[in-house]
Structure 1
Amino acid sequence: MTTQNKGVAIVSEAVCEAIVGRPEAFTAVEDIFAAMAKKDAYNFPVVREAIGHADALYGFKSGFDRAGQVLGVKSGGYWPGNAANGLTNHQSTVILFDPDTGKLKALVGGNYLTAVRTAASSAVSIAHLARKDAKVLGMVGAGHQSTFQLRAAVEQRNFEKVVAWNPHPEYLPRLQAVCDELGLPFEAVSREELGAQADVIITITSAFEPLLMKDWIKPGTHIACMGTDTKGKQEVDPELLVAASVFTDEIEQSISIGEAQHAVGNASLSASDITPIGEVINATHPGRRSDNEITLFDGTGVGLQDLAVASAAAELAIAQNQADWTEL
């Protein structure tokens, strides 16, 4: 990224939404997963804490992509009361630095990018791990990020139907509206029925208890667990991870704050049982080995994903003269 000596580039939420689409996010996330697997990029330890105010979780995710020369930090968190005030519950900003000098390069709105990079992450997992003949997509969760997940997922396979469940059924119409727009049949179902029908399942909730049990999942299903990113969170039965071939964005996060924390915690799964999805992307791991294999992607949300999409946003904004500039 060149700042042409203009100072610090400011890329607003509106600009991010205008210039970063699903293809750009998919490519950025797929590339960073590949770089991580090659040890060309690494994340720093995550800080994520309850602040004791507004029931909020706040923290920092950061890292360095040596291959792409991207250095920075995403600062933000989750404010569960925001929706009632017309705001997005997830609030964040990405700060990019020059890796050669440490000089501040850009401030990039992180709310939209968080949603689009999270959706890109599950989409990458579907592209590389789901059966080619997958026909039914199951959605567990109907919050703000669910529509991003749905739109990105349906581009990866020729789905013929979407089934969905949410703990608050009144939010399911937002998923149905997307399906209506895309011409896909939609059905609200029980969790058991969702497991019985779906070939691909995305979980995108803030749950602290298992919502899907192992016995509900049919052979050959691919599951992308996208909601667990904090100690104590949980979306699926730990026995499901034991029964599945488990992949993740980063093993250390998976076993500490991701979905795998519970199976690892009860010693039914070990870190050596988990494969970075970058190895599949780089073709150093075969990924899915059979049509009956259950595959599970533990998408914990690494800082390098945020830095990758934010760097892409900054590059595009500067090239298209849509960035604002300031001196500090």
Structure 2
Amino acid sequence: MLIVPEREIADLMTREAAFEAVEKVFAAMASGDARNFPVVREAIGHEDALYGFKGGFDRAGLALGLKAGGYWPNNLDKRGLINHQSTVFLFDPDTGKVRAMVGGNLLTALRTAAASSVSIKHLARDDAKVLGMIGAGHQATFQLRAALEQRKFEKVIGWNYHPDMLPNIEKVAVEAGLPFEAVELDRMGEADVIVSITSAFSPSLMAGHVCEGTHIACMGTDTKGKQEVEAVLLKRARVFTDEVAQSVSIGEAQHAVAEGLIAEGDITPIGAVINGTHPGRTSDKDITLFDGTGVGLQDLAVAAAVVDLAVEKGIAIEVDF
């Protein structure tokens, strides 16, 4: 078995490599060459933590495995650790033997940012100039860096439940040479692209905050009950997702479907847009919304790429297991 420790990931996986891996696996999902297994995600009744498993099999990339981990909301304050903790396990699809164990914390941040970045590439207007950020935590910095690579943005605006955290994303914008402005939510109408990355259980972005032509990437809702945007906004939008089954069960669409505002058939896998079997945005006036629930195949794709790089560079640790 190969081990790629968390400490090695930063020197192995780039945003570009994560983007390529995620875009390919979304395309494989839409063409039927890859599928995710049902998600297990539960509150464990200790430290307010959510823990679970996401897995799948990509026949195109021959990646089989799972990610185990979750969200420990007290980690940062109590222990100086990031709140999201995870590990990826890869298995040989020919024999079932464990192939690799890979640190999943940075990979999770990179693959989540890559997913929203893929949605911006394929769904946002070409002339998008203003990027709106809702959320300013650890993951938001990854989201912002990845998003800025997809269009020639001229300004970043941001809002967070706790305004004192906004300097986290302001620093990223300034490093990219762009002005940053903290705003109230009603000014999100100025944004051509909005990335929402919070762990909220009630909506912050309302339908009235969004103008025609906007692309929204909802990246924080991955559990029953979570919600970042008003459900009626999905009725106004053309809705896309990483996986439809997760979108309606644990994603942002769970609320709009439950309220009868949209049906499962109204949601399109983004892989269909990547493959060219769905047009995606059809007008500059369309509101497009990507429901990024986070699928296990994303984790397997980036982990498999990391293992290959680690072997190539002689960094992977081999153990007899």
Partner of 1:142: 136
Partner of 1:275: 268
| Cα distance in 2, alignment partners of residues 88 and 215 from structure 1 | 34
Q: Does 1:106 align with 2:137?
A: no
Q: Does 1:220 align with 2:213?
A: yes
How far off is 1:304 after superposition? 0.2
Partner of 1:3: none
How far off is 1:267 after superposition? 1.1
| Cα distance in 2, alignment partners of residues 294 and 100 from structure 1 | 44
User: Any unmatched runs of 5+ in structure 2?
Assistant: none
Aligned partner (choices 5, 15, 25) of residue 12 of structure 1? 5
Amino acid at match of 1:211: S
Per-residue CA deviations over 1:68-114 (Å, capped at 9, x if unaligned) read 11100100000000111210100000000000000010000000000
Q: Does 1:115 align with 2:103?
A: no
Aligned partner (choices 152, 157, 160) of residue 163 of structure 1? 157
Partner of 1:313: 306
Amino acid at match of 1:288: R
Say which SS state the counterpart of residue 11 (structure 2) adopts. Answer: helix
Partner of 1:5: none
Amino acid at match of 1:134: A
| Cα distance in 1, alignment partners of residues 192 and 245 from structure 2 | 28
Amino acid at match of 1:40: D
| Cα distance in 2, alignment partners of residues 252 and 265 from structure 1 | 14
Partner of 2:225: 232
Per-residue CA deviations over 1:202-222 (Å, capped at 9, x if unaligned) read 000000011111011000000
| Cα distance in 2, alignment partners of residues 33 and 211 from structure 1 | 28
Amino acid at match of 1:168: H
What is the aligned residue count? 320
Aligned partner (choices 190, 203, 223) of residue 197 of structure 1? 190
Aligned partner (choices 16, 22, 41) of residue 23 of structure 1? 16
Q: Select between 315-324 and 217-226 the one with higher mean Cα deviation.
A: 315-324
| Cα distance in 2, alignment partners of residues 236 and 209 from structure 1 | 8
| Cα distance in 1, alignment partners of residues 317 and 22 from structure 2 | 25
- TM-score, length-scaled by structure 2: 0.99
Q: Does 1:186 align with 2:187?
A: no
| Cα distance in 2, alignment partners of residues 217 and 50 from structure 1 | 33
Per-residue CA deviations over 1:293-318 (Å, capped at 9, x if unaligned) read 00000000000000000000001100
Say which SS state the counterpart of residue 316 (structure 1) adopts. Answer: helix
Partner of 1:42: 35
How far off is 1:196 after superposition? 1.7
Partner of 1:295: 288
Partner of 2:277: 284
User: Any unmatched runs of 5+ in structure 1?
Assistant: 1-7
Partner of 2:253: 260
Per-residue CA deviations over 1:235-264 (Å, capped at 9, x if unaligned) read 000000000000000000000000000000
| Cα distance in 2, alignment partners of residues 68 and 140 from structure 1 | 34
Q: Give 4+ residue runs of structure 1 displaced > 4 Å after superposition.
A: none
CA RMSD of superposed structures (Å): 0.5
Amino acid at match of 2:114: A
- Same amino acid, percent of matched pairs: 66
How far off is 1:16 after superposition? 1.2
| Cα distance in 2, alignment partners of residues 61 and 26 from structure 1 | 19
| Cα distance in 1, alignment partners of residues 6 and 44 from structure 2 | 25
